């Protein structure tokens, strides 16, 4: 159920959960000072309690009220990418951020969204925690219909145009004297290299180090269908193929287009909607053409596909 911004603000302030469009994916919002609404988020999503939430604020200055120390480069990053699809994990004064939000960690994740409606809402409500608005483990929501499919038609969704990147924010943490990426996202490493003078490494993603981002431990972004990632599409007989409209596939197959293979932004925007459409089609399996360069935004797209397929490096 689409609701106007005044109603969304009133509901949030009275301890209710509301879905909110952002420039990455839809979020499931609750007021930071309302523990019962935050608990409700975990229940609605079926989210493990050891997976912490991102605190969304209207501007970088608000973060100062919660943080215990600012690592080197914080202001540089904030000035360059806030508002925008960047999340920073910072040490906090633990009495200021409820333990349920932090999953008991001494840190909390912060983001200033750029989406105009989300911005206006945050100015009306104050800080909101917002995980992606999907059932835990399934693809994030990039359209109102996705939120409604997961939480029902009566669920309140703040109306607003969906200018979506289609991929979640990039999450960084400062460890061992450097910013490191703990979740790849809508901003590629090069976006940070320009402002920090070095490219943040991908921590616990490509290495065997335990991830600092609890969410990386869980099954993610997955439709019900088993995805088979392939660079050749040779195994494709009779199967649905997730492919690109500038490529040619066997005519016997049903093709779901992710966009043009040369345009990673278009692929990102379509990715979760296409994965979700496999569920609508009640497909048992699908082949995904992953013959894409492993760079920039493509790297995030491929990471999401590996996770959705629960597959590591066995690409054919
Ligand atoms: O683009 C986004 O980031 C979207 C929109 C709605 O803002 N939100 C989002 O939230 O993707 P969620 O809950 O689906 O993913 C947040 C990730 C999880 O993997 C969680 O483990 C990690 O952030 N996270 C949150 N707090 C953390 C912390 N203190 N330390 C490390 N990782 C943290
Ligand atoms: Mg999520």
- CA dist 210 and 217 (Å) reads 9
Q: How far, in Å, is the centroid of ligand 1 from the Cα of 176?
A: 21
Closest-CA residue, ligand 1 atom 10, reads 131
Ligand 1 atom, smallest distance to 51 CA: 21
Q: How far, in Å, is the centroid of ligand 2 from the Cα of 101?
A: 14
Give backbone dihedrals phi and psi of 219, rounded to 5 degrees, phi first.
-60, 145
Residues at CB less than 6 angstroms from ligand 1: 22, 24-25, 27, 51-54, 85, 87, 89, 102, 105, 107-109, 111, 130-132, 168-169, 171, 183, 212-215
Closest-CA residue, ligand 1 atom 33, reads 213
Residue 164, pLDDT score: 80
- Tell me the DSSP string of 5-71: HHHHHHHHHTT--EEE--SSS-EEEEETT-HHHHHHHHHHHT--TTS--EEE-SSHHHHTTTBS-PP
Q: How far, in Å, is the centroid of ligand 1 from the Cα of 131?
A: 6
Q: Output the tens digit of pLDDT for each of the chain's 316 residues.
A: 999 999 999 999 999 999 999 999 999 999 999 999 999 999 999 999 999 999 999 999 999 999 998 999 999 999 999 999 999 999 999 999 999 999 999 999 999 999 999 999 999 999 999 999 999 999 999 999 999 999 999 999 999 877 689 999 999 999 999 999 999 999 999 999 989 999 999 987 555 555 566 766 666 788 899 999 988 866 566 789 999 999 999 888 899 999 999 999 999 999 999 999 999 999 999 999 999 999 999 999 999 999 999 854 444 4
Ligand 1 atom, smallest distance to 108 CA: 29
Tell me if residue 152 falls in helix, strand or coil.
Answer: coil
Q: How far, in Å, is the centroid of ligand 2 from the Cα of 131?
A: 6
Q: How far, in Å, is the centroid of ligand 2 from the Cα of 134?
A: 7
pTM: predicted TM-score of the whole model, two decimal places: 0.95
User: Given phi > 0 = left and psi -120 to 50 = alpha, else beta, which region is 166?
Assistant: left
């Amino acid at each position: 159920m689409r609701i106007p911004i005044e109603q969304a603000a009133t509901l949030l302030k009275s301890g209710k959960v509301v879905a909110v469009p952002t420039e990455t994916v839809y979020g499931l919002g609750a007021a930071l000072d309302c523990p019962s609404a935050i608990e409700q988020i975990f229940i609605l999503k079926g989210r493990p309690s050891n997976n912490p939430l991102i605190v969304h604020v209207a501007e970088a200055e608000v973060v100062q009220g919660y943080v215990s120390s600012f690592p080197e480069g914080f202001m540089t990053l904030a000035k360059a990418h806030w508002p925008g699809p960047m999340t920073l994990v910072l040490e906090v004064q633990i009495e200021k951020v409820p333990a349920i939000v932090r999953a008991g960690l001494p840190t909390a994740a912060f983001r200033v969204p750029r989406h105009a409606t989300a911005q206006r809402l945050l100015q009306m409500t104050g800080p909101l925690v917002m995980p992606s608005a999907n059932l835990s483990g399934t693809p994030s929501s990039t359209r109102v219909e996705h939120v409604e499919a997961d939480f029902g038609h009566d669920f309140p969704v703040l109306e607003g145009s969906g200018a979506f990147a289609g991929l979640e924010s990039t999450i960084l943490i400062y460890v061992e004297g450097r910013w490191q990426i703990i979740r790849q996202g809508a901003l590629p490493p090069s976006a940070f290299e320009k402002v920090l003078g070095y490219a943040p490494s991908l921590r616990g993603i490509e290495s065997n180090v335990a991830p600092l981002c609890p969410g990386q431990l869980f099954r993610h972004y997955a439709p019900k269908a088993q995805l088979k990632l392939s660079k050749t599409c040779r195994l494709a007989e009779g199967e649905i193929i997730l492919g690109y409209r500038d490529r040619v596939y066997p005519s016997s197959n049903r093709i779901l287009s992710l966009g043009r293979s040369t345009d990673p932004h278009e692929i990102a925007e379509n990715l979760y909607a296409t994965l979700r459409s496999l569920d609508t089609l009640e497909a048992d399996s699908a082949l995904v053409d992953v013959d894409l360069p492993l760079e920039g935004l493509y790297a995030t797209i491929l990471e999401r596909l590996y996770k959705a397929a629960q597959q590591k490096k066995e690409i054919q």
